[in-house]
Amino acid sequence: MNYNWDWGVFFKSTGIGSEIYLDWFVTGLGWTIAIALTGWLIALALGSLLGVMRTVPNRWISGIATCYVEVFRNVPLLVQLFLWYFLVPDLLPEPLEMWFKQDLSPATSAFISVVVCLGLFTAARVCEQVRTGIQALPKGQLAAGYALGFRLPQIYRDVLLPQAFRIIIPPLTSEFLNIFKNSSVASLIGLMELLAQTKQTAEFSANLFEAFTLATLIYFTLNMSLMLLMRLVEKKVAVPGLISVGGK
C-alpha cells in the first residue's frame, strides 16, 4: 500500500480562510457536544415524565407512555431523523414552516431536527430505565408515603424518584454516552458535527487514516471523561449505609 502518513496534517491550512484542519475538528466537537447535551436534556425531562407515567395506577396514563416507548424504540433512528427533518416541517402551520425552512440557517434547522429526534428517541430509553428504577423499590415505600398523608405526586418527588434515580445512574450513564455516539447521525442531514468534519478532512487532505484516528481518539476521550463524571455524580449522591454499585 502506498500511503503517505502525515500526522502534521491537522496543523495544515485547509485552504479556506486561515483555518487549519484542527479548527474543523474543534467546530465539529462543539456541535457534537451541543447536540448531545441539548438532546439529553430533552430525553431526561421527557423520559422521567414518561417513566413516572408508566408506573402510575391509571391505565390510560400508563398506556400512553407505553405506546410512546413502543413507537420510538422500534422505529430506526435514521428513519426518525429523516421524518423530523424532511417530513415534519411540511406538516407545520404555514408561518412556522416558512420560518423553519427560510429564516433559519441550514445549520440551525438541522440542529433543531436532530436535537428533537435524539431527545425523543432517547426519552423512550430513559423512560424504561426510570420505570425499572421505580419498580425496583419495595412496594412498602409507596404505602409508607401514603400512610404519612402524602399525595401521589409528593410521593414520587420526595420518596420514589430520589431513590430510583440513584439506582439507575449506571444505565443512564450508558444512555448518556449513546446520545453522544448517536449524534453522528446529524452528518447525514448536513450538520457539520465531529463525524462530518472528519469525513471532510479526509476528503480535502487525503489523509483519511489520520483524520479517523483523531476522531476515534476524541470520541474515546469524550466517553471516558463522561464516564468519570458520572462516577463522581454517583459517589456524590451515594446514600450512607447502602451499597452503591459504582461507588466502590
Partner 1 sequence: MISIQNVNKWYGDFQVLTDCSTEVKKGEVVVVCGPSGSGKSTLIKCVNALEPFQKGDIVVDGTSIADKNTNLPKLRSRVGMVFQHFELFPHLSITENLTIAQIKVLGRSKAEATEKGLALLERVGLKEHAHKHPGQLSGGQQQRVAIARALAMDPVVMLFDEPTSALDPEMVNEVLDVMVQLANEGMTMMCVTHEMGFARKVADRVIFMDAGRIVEDCPKEEFFGDINARSERAQQFLNKILQH
Residues that bind partner 1 (CB under 8 A): 138, 140-141, 143-144, 146-151, 154, 158-159, 162-163, 166, 239-242
Whole-angstrom Cα distance, residue 17 to residue 12? 12
Of residues 48 and 184, the one with the C-beta less far from partner 1:
48
The least distance separating partner 1 from the CB of residue 93, rounded to whole angstroms, comes to 43
The least distance separating partner 1 from the CB of residue 137, rounded to whole angstroms, comes to 9
Residue 204 Cα distances to 15, 193, 216, angstroms = 9, 16, 19
The least distance separating partner 1 from the CB of residue 112, rounded to whole angstroms, comes to 37
Of residues 229 and 242, the one with the C-beta less far from partner 1:
242
Terminal alpha carbon distance of the chain: 48
Of residues 123 and 159, the one with the C-beta less far from partner 1:
159
Residues in the chain: 248
Grid cell locating 127: 423512560
Contact 56, 62 (CB under 8 A): yes
The least distance separating partner 1 from the CB of residue 166, rounded to whole angstroms, comes to 7
Whole-angstrom Cα distance, residue 233 to residue 170? 11
Give the other-Cβ count within 10 Å of 244's Cβ: 16
Of residues 93 and 138, the one with the C-beta less far from partner 1:
138
The least distance separating partner 1 from the CB of residue 229, rounded to whole angstroms, comes to 21
Residue 18 has what DSSP assignment?
A: T
Q: Residue 132's closest CA among 170, 75, 186?
A: 170
The least distance separating partner 1 from the CB of residue 96, rounded to whole angstroms, comes to 42
Give the other-Cβ count within 10 Å of 206's Cβ: 13
Give the other-Cβ count within 10 Å of 228's Cβ: 10
Of residues 3 and 151, the one with the C-beta less far from partner 1:
151
Residue 236 Cα distances to 68, 159, 227, 239, angstroms = 33, 18, 14, 9
Whole-angstrom Cα distance, residue 13 to residue 160? 55
Of residues 64 and 152, the one with the C-beta less far from partner 1:
152
Of residues 12 and 166, the one with the C-beta less far from partner 1:
166
The least distance separating partner 1 from the CB of residue 239, rounded to whole angstroms, comes to 5
